[in-house]
Amino acid sequence: MEFIDTHSHIAWHVDDGIQNIEDARIALTMAASDGIHTILSTPHVIPGRTDKNNYLKISSRQDELKQLGQEFDVDIFKGGEVMLNSHFLDTLREGWLPKIHNGPYILVEYNVRYDFAFQNLDFDPLFELSVAGYHPVIAHVERYFHKKLDMDVINDWADNDYVFQINATSLLGLDSKQSKKNAWWLIENGYAHTVATDTHRTTGYRIENLSAAYEQVCRKVGKKAADLLFYENPKNVILGRPVTDIPVHKKKSFFSFGR
C-alpha cells in the first residue's frame, strides 16, 4: 500500500522537528520503506514570531528537502502548520501564509497544551481564514479536547466543511488516552478525513510511519475507509480537490460518547 503523509516536520533545522540533514535522510529512508512516497512538508509558522522573511528561509529549506527527496523516490510538497494565536489576524492580513501546494488548503493548529475551551481567542480564526479564501485543514483535531470531545465545536467544524486531520500516534495510543479515544471516535463516526504522522524525530514517537495505524484502521472500519484516510483524501488535499467523507455503518449519538 502506498501512503501520503500530509503533516511532517521533516525539513531540517527550521522548527522543533528534524534538526539536521543526516536525520532528514534517515526520515526519508524510513518513509520510503514504509510506503510513504509523498510527504507534505509543514514547518511550524507562529504568528508574532515567524515573519515573511523567516518563512522565505523556511521555504528555501523546503526546496532543498524536495531535491533530497528525489534520492529516496519521495515527492515533497510545500505547506506549513500555522498556529492560531492572538497574533494570527495581523499575519493573515499580510497575505503570505503558506497554502498547501499553493492551493486552497492550509494546515492550522491550536495550542495543544490547552483544552479548546481555554484557547481564549476573541475571534474565530477558522472563519477569518475562510473569508480570506483559505480552506482550513485542522491538524490533530483529537488533541484539543482533553476531557471529551465538545460536539458543538466538532459539528460546527464539520458543518463548515473543514478538513479533520488525525495523528497516527493518537490512533496507536502513543499520545494521551483521551487523544486515542477522541481519534477513534472521530474515525468511527465519519468525521475524520486524513491521517498523518506529524513527524518530528527519527526514533520513538512521531516518525515517518503510517502502516501500523493503517492496519488498525483497516481492521476496525475497513479498507475502503483506510484508503481514503491514508491516500485518497491526502492526495485530494495536496491537489486542492474536495475530500470525501469516509463510510460509516452507524453514527453514534452524542449521548453515547464516553460511555
pLDDT band of 259, cuts 50, 70, 90 = very low
pLDDT at 251 over 80: no
Of residues 256 and 37, the one with the higher pLDDT is: 37
In whole angstroms, give the CA distance from residue 182 to residue 135: 23
In whole angstroms, give the CA distance from residue 6 to residue 64: 18
User: In the numeric block, which cell numbers belong to residue 26?
Assistant: 534517515
Residues 110-113: contacts with CB under 8 Å, at least 24 apart: 110/83, 110/84, 110/144, 111/83, 111/85, 112/140, 112/143, 112/144
The mean predicted confidence, pLDDT, of the chain is 95
Burial group, residue 234, by CB count within 10 angstroms (0-12, 13-18, 19+): buried
Q: pLDDT tens digits, residue range 63-74?
A: 999 999 999 999
In whole angstroms, give the CA distance from residue 131 to residue 123: 13
Of residues 256 and 11, the one with the higher pLDDT is: 11
pTM of the full structure = 0.95
pLDDT band of 248, cuts 50, 70, 90 = confident
8 A C-beta contact, residue 140 and residue 110: no
pLDDT band of 237, cuts 50, 70, 90 = very high
How confident is the model at residue 249, as a pLDDT? 64
Q: pLDDT tens digits, residue range 77-98?
A: 999 999 999 999 999 999 999 9
pLDDT at 250 over 80: no
How confident is the model at residue 79, as a pLDDT? 98
pLDDT at 183 over 60: yes
DSSP secondary structure code for residue 8 in this structure: E
In whole angstroms, give the CA distance from residue 202 to residue 206: 8
CB atoms within 10 A of CB 7: 27
pLDDT at 254 over 90: no
pLDDT at 253 over 60: no
Q: For the chain, which domains are there?
A: 3-256 (3.20.20.140)
What is the mean pLDDT of the segment spanning 150-154?
A: 98
